[in-house]
Amino acid sequence: MSVTVLVGSQWGDEGKGKIIDVLTREVDVVVRYQGGSNAGHTVEIGAQRYVLHLIPSGILHEGKQCVIGNGVVVDPVALLKEIDELTERGMPTEGRLHISDRAHIVFPYHKALDESRERLRAKDSKIGTTKRGIGPTYGDKAARTGLRMADLLDPHFGTLLDERLVEKNRILTALGAEPVDASEVQRAYAQAGERLAPYITDTVSLLNRAVNDGKSVLFEGAQGTMLDIDFGTFPYVTSSNATAGGACTGTGIAPHRIDRVIGVVKAYTTRVGEGPFPTELADETGALLGREGREFGATTGRPRRCGWFDAVVARFSAMLNGIDEWAITKLDVLDSLETIRICTAYECGGKRCETIPANIRTLEQCTPVYEDFEGWQCSTKEVSRFEDLPPRARAYVDRLCELTGVPVGILSVGPRRDSTLRVRAEA
């Protein structure tokens, strides 16, 4: 394995954390390339459960190097909390965690703006953000008023921050929100700068050196393709490029250095926050998927909306990301169902639609065209070889691959590390 990008291929929460954790054993370096503490990667190791928001989950493996790339927006206070928690649980990060000096910084005013803008949006146009300040921070990056980790180490940081604080507090006041406490922000960020200094570095050179030296590198995407700022269900998206292309712009690794792309999909679909979701199930089956799959947001704790597998979404994702193989997660959640459905296309205004329309109002009007499968109605949780899956479960996976034109490489049938089947390796 050399340079691999792993992307979420639905609306996030596909179970990437677990797949990354399994693949990390085979790599030297794990890299985050976009998003911020809106992400939540859950990993279960024995009886221990870890939820990481900013630090790549590779940190849970001794000796692996972890990088937070320039495309990530970093909340230094949240990051230090994660560093401290890991240290307390016997996993020190110094010397193994490297933060890009070009990564943009999330400030408390970004979070306050995120909240205010959500509050002021009309009821039916709320995005349902995680309120972690993601949109406003990327907004400042695009507007060229953001501050980066390199600035945090600059002797003029206090002055640079002061200028922003004055402007942002005026905006917050105009929006009817409380201004942030400028001296408290200055104090907390100066302190965070001191503590984070040993981690902040030129990760572009570090990563390119690693690739040139033949090291195996895994880029872990956060969120998912349908939340990508360019290709997702805009405006119900996050503010970064969650697709594979983001791995290049978010780290400084050139496109031709990437060897393969793994797309993670759940065997059904979930979504948190607002926005269209054609295969959503607002019935008992949806509730069952939520219960069996423990579908609660890792960052906000919100219940996830659940629905059938959407092959239109997965095909779109395969095309955009150049997916070489699927990692299919949570197949076991479907174990008890009598009938399982896959959406193969949409119907919109009397026409068949095979891809995702750009117009959000058109997408809202799309109704799924389904293909039905008989459920296997037995447990797959203990299955350890793809060949040993119940024939109906295998037929479901085969059809999913056929409809999306991508083979399965990894199949997950439970939250534990050992409930992960490597399909191709065994075939």
The identity of residue 56, as a single letter, is P
Segment interacting with ligand IMP (CB under 6 A) among 126-134, 172-180, 252-260, 282-290: 126-134
| CB hemisphere CA count around 397 (13 angstroms) | 32
Q: What DSSP designation does 160 have?
A: H
Segment interacting with ligand IMP (CB under 6 A) among 34-42, 171-179, 286-294, 308-316: 34-42
Q: Which two tokens mark 396?
A: 């479901």
Judged by phi (left if over 0) then psi (alpha if -120 to 50, else beta), residue 319 lies in: alpha
The answer, yes or no, to whether the previous bond of 235 is cis (omega within 30 of 0) is yes
Q: Which one of 246, 250, 273, 293 is in contact with ligand IMP (CB under 6 A)?
A: 273
- Rule CB under 6 A: is residue 307 a binding residue for ligand IMP? no
* Terminal Cα-to-Cα distance of the chain (whole angstroms): 18
- Rule CB under 6 A: is residue 265 a binding residue for ligand IMP? no
- Distance in angstroms (rounded) separating the CA atoms of residues 269 and 286: 10
Residue 274 or 332 with smaller CB distance to ligand IMP: 274
Count of beta carbons in the 10 Å neighbourhood of residue 372: 10
- Rule CB under 6 A: is residue 37 a binding residue for ligand IMP? no
Distance of closest approach, residue 423 Cβ to ligand IMP, in angstroms: 25
Q: Which one of 3, 19, 39, 406 is in contact with ligand IMP (CB under 6 A)?
A: 39
- Rule CB under 6 A: is residue 314 a binding residue for ligand IMP? no
- Rule CB under 6 A: is residue 127 a binding residue for ligand IMP? yes
Phi, psi (rounded to 5 degrees) for 47: -85, 0
- Rule CB under 6 A: is residue 52 a binding residue for ligand IMP? no
User: Taking CB under 6 A as the rule, which mask of x and - marks residues 200-239 in contact with ligand IMP?
Assistant: ----------------------xx---x--------x-xx
13 is catalytic: yes
Residue 96 or 111 with smaller CB distance to ligand IMP: 111
- Distance in angstroms (rounded) separating the CA atoms of residues 378 and 391: 11
Pure H helices in 124-181 = 134-142, 149-152, 157-174
Kind of pairing between the strands at 104-105 and 73-74 = parallel
- Rule CB under 6 A: is residue 411 a binding residue for ligand IMP? no
The catalytic position among 21, 41, 53, 332 is 41
Rg of the chain over all Cα atoms, to the nearest angstrom? 21
Which residues make up the interface to ligand IMP (CB under 6 A)? 12-13, 38-40, 127-130, 132, 134-135, 222-223, 227, 236, 238-239, 272-273
The catalytic residue positions are 13, 41
